[in-house]
């Protein structure tokens, strides 16, 4: 694919953009996420308790997976060459497609595609990307997310002749 730019992003709607690096997640990270979000439930954070559940172990929080979207996006190298200071604009669709069992740790990555580009004026753009999240050695995707980012153009340098 050519260098990814906001000015030409519309040419890539409907195309896959890339696959992120793998992210390693373990029980300690799941427990910290549970503490920070105040959702430290036994099914997520207590391996002894979770052994006796229908899943046989602790599960990763769905919101924890979603919180990795910015990292997935950047690790793919899709940072637009003419863009800066992106803002999380929200999510249009989030589906947890199957539980994510932690066991001794997992590896996640995202397959990213471009769904829509909206010019907002002044060189600003709203991008909607699709993210199919996979877990290594798990059949099928575990989550689908549509992620919105609001991008600003890189400021033009003042030549000093103004």
Region at 123 (left for phi over 0; alpha for psi -120 to 50; beta for the rest): left
Per residue in 56-75, pLDDT (tens digit) is 999 999 999 999 999 998 89
Contact 29, 45 (CB under 8 A): no
Residue 2: pLDDT band (50, 70, 90) is low
Residue 160: pLDDT band (50, 70, 90) is low
Helices (H), the chain: 27-37, 42-45, 47-50, 62-66, 69-75
Per-residue pLDDT averaged across 79-102, rounded?
95
Residue 142: pLDDT band (50, 70, 90) is very high
d(CA 28, CA 44): 11
Given this model, what pLDDT does residue 56 score? Answer: 96
Measure Cα distances from 75 to 1, 18, 44, 94 in Å.
Answer: 16, 10, 27, 21
Is the whole-model pTM more than 0.85? Answer: yes
Domains of the chain: 14-23+61-152 (3.10.129.10)
Per residue in 96-119, pLDDT (tens digit) is 999 999 998 999 999 999 999 999
Per-residue pLDDT averaged across 38-59, rounded?
97
């Amino acid at each position: 694919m050519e260098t990814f730019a906001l000015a030409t992003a519309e040419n890539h709607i409907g195309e896959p953009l890339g696959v992120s690096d793998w992210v390693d997640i373990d029980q300690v990270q799941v427990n910290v996420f549970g503490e920070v979000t105040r959702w430290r439930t036994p099914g997520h954070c207590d391996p002894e308790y979770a052994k006796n559940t229908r899943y046989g172990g602790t599960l990763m929080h769905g919101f924890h997976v979603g919180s990795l979207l910015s990292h997935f996006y950047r690790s793919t190298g899709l940072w637009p060459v003419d863009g800066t200071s992106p803002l999380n604009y929200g999510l249009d669709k989030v589906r947890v497609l199957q539980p994510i069992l932690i066991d001794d740790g997992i590896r996640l990555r995202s397959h990213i595609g471009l769904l829509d580009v909206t010019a907002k004026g002044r060189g600003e753009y709203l991008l909607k990307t699709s993210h199919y999240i996979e877990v290594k050695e798990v059949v099928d995707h575990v989550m689908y997310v549509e992620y919105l980012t609001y991008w600003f153009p890189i400021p033009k340098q003042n030549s000093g002749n103004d």
